[in-house]
Structures are given as C-alpha cells and as structure tokens.
C-alpha cells in the first residue's frame, strides 16, 4: 500500500499547512499510541530540535499519546541520533523526533524510531496511517498516560558519543571549530569535543527558534570555512539542525563532503582490520568515491537516496559503513543511525591515529565534477513518460561516453526534481546539467 503521510524521512512540511498542524499532531500522537498500545508498548520518548514550532507540536503529540494511554518522557531539544540512542537505553517502545532536519524554521516534521533505535518498519507506519482515519477516542481516566521530563538526557548522550572512539584516545593538540547550525546539538556537541581534549571554538550555538540552519551549519558552511582560517584551526565540523549530518573543513578552509568523509572512515577501518563488509553509498554518491574504494579492493554498492535505504542495503549486504554525500553517515559498528557527532569523531580519530591532517587523508579520493540543479515542481511527475526528457538524457549519456553519469529523481523531502550530471570534464557536466534541467522544466 502507498503511504499517505510518511515519506522517506517521516512526515514533513510547512508549519500551519496540513499535515503539519496542531490538530493533525494531536491525532498522530493518538494514532501512534493506539498502534503502540496494541503491541503491548507503554512508553514513548519525545525530543525536538530548536525551531519555534517544536513547542506547539510537542504539546500536541503529548496530549494525543496520553489520551491513548501512553506514558511519555520528554527530552527537550536533543539531536535526532541522541533520541535514537536514548530510545534504546531508556527501554522505550518508540522514540519521536520533532524536526525538519536541514530545512528552515518555517518547516517542521515528525520522525519515529523503533525500540531498537532504527526507523519504523513500513508496516508500522501504515498501521498508524490506518488509525488516523478512525475517530479519536480517549481511554478511561484511570488509564491515561503520564508525562515527565528527563533531566540528564544531554549528559547521557555526551558520554555515549565519547565512547565511540578508543578510551585511551585524546584530541589534545587539535583546534576544532564546531558549527552547531543553531540547532539541536548546540548544548552537547561542544562538550563532546572539549571533554576529549580538543581546543573548541563554537559558532552557530545561539538558537532563538528562528535561526536554525540560517547561514550556518552543513547547508551553509561558508561561515565555518572562514572561521577555521581566522582561528588557524586544524579542522572545522559543520552539523545540521538536528545533528544527523556532518560536513567538515580542512585546515586550509576547504570543504570536505560526506563522500570524502566516508572514504576516510572506510580506509581507517581497513587499515585497522575493522572494516566488515563493503561500503554503501547512494545514487548521488560521487563516482570518485566508488573508484577510490575499488582501488583498495573495498566493495561499493549504491542504494536509493535516503538514509533508510542505505541502512536497508547495509543490513542486506552485511556491511557496517554507509552514507550520503550530504554528510549523513551511518557507522553501524558504533550506533544505529546517522550521527553527525559520532561520524566527526571517527574522522578525528583517523587523524590522530595516522598523524595526518584532514586534507592529506582525503587526497586518496579524486572527486569527479558533479553538478546538480533542483527544478521546482508543483505536482507529482513521471519523468519516464516525458519523451523530451528521455531524449535529453540519452543525448547527455552519449556525450559523456561512459565517463560519467546522469541522474534525474524527484526529491523525497522537497517539491523539486533533482537533476544531476557527473563526469570528467566540468564544463561538459555543467552544460549537460543545464540542458537537462531546461528539458525537465519545459516538460512540466
């Protein structure tokens, strides 16, 4: 069955527009509680990022869950991966994240984690959607749920992050700039790196409910690049609003994306004899990553875009390391989901163990020029049914002559079609991307 509300990364949209309304969130909390209760569950934890609408939706979900007889633990602002971790360690049946990740404050969304700290199965999401179509009925007063706040959630997560690198390792001697995107990591990320011995300069850690991801974080790393050079730092770390993505900056102020970080972690694991299975990327992963891994006899597979698909393929293939060029990296030997702080620590550990700067560690991978254009759309599209688009794709592939890739795909989180062209020659790549984007726009 097709899902009505759940996309590749939960339910997301504009605040005040259905389904991102208080009324829907009340019903969603009740529906999730009904499904959870039917399975014998009783406890849910709720966390959020720093956008102002989080207060509204936290209260609505709380009321809906309580009306279904579910107890709640409220975490307040916490990174998405922290909620996945705490769902497991607090022995909750479900964890709920109120966040629109890297989007601006005008958007918000809901993500669910299972009791194992992983994304909900499709069957559970469909069951919740089925309950949404039913009238809302409150349980008897004696069966209503209760809510309480977890006071030490941040400290628990900080200690977990620190435990993902060797106990004997110190970051002493490293000067690190950390950009928290005015998001959910603002009160935990600086402490993680500071307590491990690094000299930490923090930016993007003054959230006001409206400035999440605004001109900062992994979606806008220019401020971090300037700060690294200004402070003569060894490395910069750019997190996104909910803390599940990370990009980094080397000592020269050059951006290091998720593909390059994935390569660095994979090679570090390989050298230590700790790389189990191959590496999983996505359809958007740079061809240079695939070739660099193959040069070290590391198997590489591509999943559909979205961390849930990377995770699915990792499980199917028996691998432990995967990710996206956006910086959403999954280290299954450390945690159950993408975690920006944990991923950054794995890269810093590789720097410490090798004694090499970030720029040198990434030099083993040569990125192919890649150009992506987002073409706005106002409706569902079937690109395969547009002859002009298919002809443009065929023409681009012929010009690339087997030395590049073309990819068109509707976004799972935004109303756009992503047009991506990759190849050896940058001017050819840009020309073909512009031509394809024009063809897509004209067909729509």
Distances (CA, A) of 309 to 179, 258, 313, 324, 328: 28, 16, 6, 11, 12
Distance CA 228, CA 154 (A): 27
Which is it for strands 255-256 and 246-249: parallel, antiparallel or unpaired?
antiparallel
Per-residue confidence (pLDDT) for residue 443, from 0 to 100: 83
- Residue 439 sits at φ, ψ, to 5 deg, of -65, -40
Beta-strand ranges (E) seen in 25-154 are: 43-48, 71-77, 94-98, 107-114, 147-149
Per-residue confidence (pLDDT) for residue 126, from 0 to 100: 96
- CATH number listed for the domain at residues 370-443: 3.30.310.50
User: Is-same-fold flag (11-150; 171-254)?
Assistant: yes
For all residues of the chain together, what is the average pLDDT?
95
Residue whose structure tokens are 């004696």: 142
- Check whether 383 has a pLDDT greater than 90: no
Contact present, 189 and 341 (Cβ < 8 Å): yes
Q: What percent of the chain has pLDDT over 70?
A: 99
- Average of per-residue pLDDT across 212-223: 97
The confidence band for 305, taking pLDDT boundaries of 50, 70 and 90, is confident
Per-residue confidence (pLDDT) for residue 382, from 0 to 100: 76
Enumerate the active-site residues: 101
The confidence band for 341, taking pLDDT boundaries of 50, 70 and 90, is very high
- Average of per-residue pLDDT across 309-331: 96
Per-residue confidence (pLDDT) for residue 162, from 0 to 100: 98
How many helices and strands in the chain, by DSSP H and E?
A: 14, 18
133-141 long-range Cβ contacts below 8 angstroms, 24+ apart: 134/31, 136/26, 136/27, 136/30, 136/64, 136/67, 138/67, 138/68, 139/67, 139/68, 139/69
Which is it for strands 279-282 and 300-303: parallel, antiparallel or unpaired?
parallel
Per-residue confidence (pLDDT) for residue 105, from 0 to 100: 97
Helix (H, G, I), strand (E, B) or coil at 283: coil
Helix axes 22-38, 54-67, angle to 10 degrees: 40
- Check whether 317 has a pLDDT greater than 70: yes
Domain range list for the chain = 11-150, 171-254, 257-340+349-367, 370-443
Reference 274, options 378, 165, 197; nearest CA is 165
- Residue 232 sits at φ, ψ, to 5 deg, of 55, 45
DSSP string, 354-393: HT--HHHHHTT--PPPEEEEEEE-SS---GGG-HHHHHHH
Per-residue confidence (pLDDT) for residue 136, from 0 to 100: 97
- CATH number listed for the domain at residues 257-340+349-367: 3.40.120.10
For residue 434 the two structure tokens come to 């512009």
Tens digits of per-residue pLDDT, 239-283? 999 999 999 999 999 999 999 999 999 999 999 999 999 999 999
Contact present, 314 and 332 (Cβ < 8 Å): yes
Higher pLDDT pick, 38 / 181:
181
Which is it for strands 329-331 and 321-323: parallel, antiparallel or unpaired?
antiparallel
Higher pLDDT pick, 415 / 269:
269
Question: Does the domain made of 11-150 have the CATH classification 3.40.120.10?
Answer: yes
CATH class of 171-254: alpha beta
- Check whether 391 has a pLDDT greater than 80: yes
Evaluate the CA torsion angle 70, 311, 257, 272 in order and state its sign: positive
- Average of per-residue pLDDT across 72-88: 98
- Residue 71 sits at φ, ψ, to 5 deg, of -80, 150
- Average of per-residue pLDDT across 196-203: 98
Distance CA 89, CA 82 (A): 10
């Amino acid at each position: 069955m097709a899902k009505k509300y759940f996309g590749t990364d939960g339910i997301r949209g504009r605040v005040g527009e259905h389904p991102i309304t208080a009324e829907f969130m009340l019903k969603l909390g009740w529906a999730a509680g009904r499904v959870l209760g039917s399975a014998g569950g009783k406890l849910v934890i709720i966390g959020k990022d720093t956008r102002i609408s989080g207060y509204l939706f936290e209260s609505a979900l709380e009321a809906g869950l309580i009306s279904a007889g579910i107890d709640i633990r409220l975490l307040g602002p916490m990174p998405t991966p922290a909620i996945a971790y705490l769902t497991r360690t607090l022995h909750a049946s479900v964890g709920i994240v109120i966040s629109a990740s890297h989007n601006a404050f005008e958007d918000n969304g809901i993500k669910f984690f299972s009791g194992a700290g992983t994304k909900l199965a499709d069957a559970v999401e469909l069951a919740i959607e089925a309950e949404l179509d039913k009238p809302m009925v409150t349980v008897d007063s004696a069966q209503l749920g209760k809510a309480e706040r977890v006071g030490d959630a941040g400290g628990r997560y900080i200690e977990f992050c620190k435990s993902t690198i060797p106990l004997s390792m110190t970051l002493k001697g490293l000067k690190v700039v950390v950009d928290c995107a005015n998001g959910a990591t603002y009160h935990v990320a600086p402490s993680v790196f500071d307590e491990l011995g690094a000299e930490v300069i923090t930016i993007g850690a003054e959230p006001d409910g409206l400035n999440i991801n605004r001109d900062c974080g992994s979606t806008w790393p220019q401020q971090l690049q300037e700060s690294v050079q200004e402070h003569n730092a060894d490395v910069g770390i750019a997190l996104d609003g909910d803390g599940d993505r990370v990009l980094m900056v080397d000592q020269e102020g050059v951006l290091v994306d998720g593909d390059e970080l994935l390569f660095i972690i994979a090679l570090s694991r390989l050298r230590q004899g700790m790389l189990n299975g191959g590496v999983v990327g996505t359809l958007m992963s740079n061809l240079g990553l695939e070739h660099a891994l193959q040069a070290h006899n590391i198997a590489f597979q591509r999943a559909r875009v979205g961390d849930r698909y990377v995770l699915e393929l990792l499980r199917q293939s028996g691998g432990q390391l995967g990710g996206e060029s956006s910086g959403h990296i999954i280290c299954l030997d450390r945690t159950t989901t993408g975690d920006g702080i944990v991923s950054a620590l794995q890269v810093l550990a590789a720097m410490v163990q090798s004694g090499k700067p970030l720029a040198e560690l990434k030099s083993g991978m040569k990125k192919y020029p890649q150009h992506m254009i987002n073409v706005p759309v106002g409706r569902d599209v079937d690109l395969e049914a547009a002859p002009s688009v298919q002809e443009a794709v065929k023409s681009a592939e012929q010009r690339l002559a087997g030395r590049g890739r073309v990819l068109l795909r509707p976004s799972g989180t935004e109303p756009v079609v992503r047009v991506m062209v990759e190849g050896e020659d940058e001017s050819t790549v840009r020309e073909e991307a512009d031509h394809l984007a024009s063809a897509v726009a004209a067909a729509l």
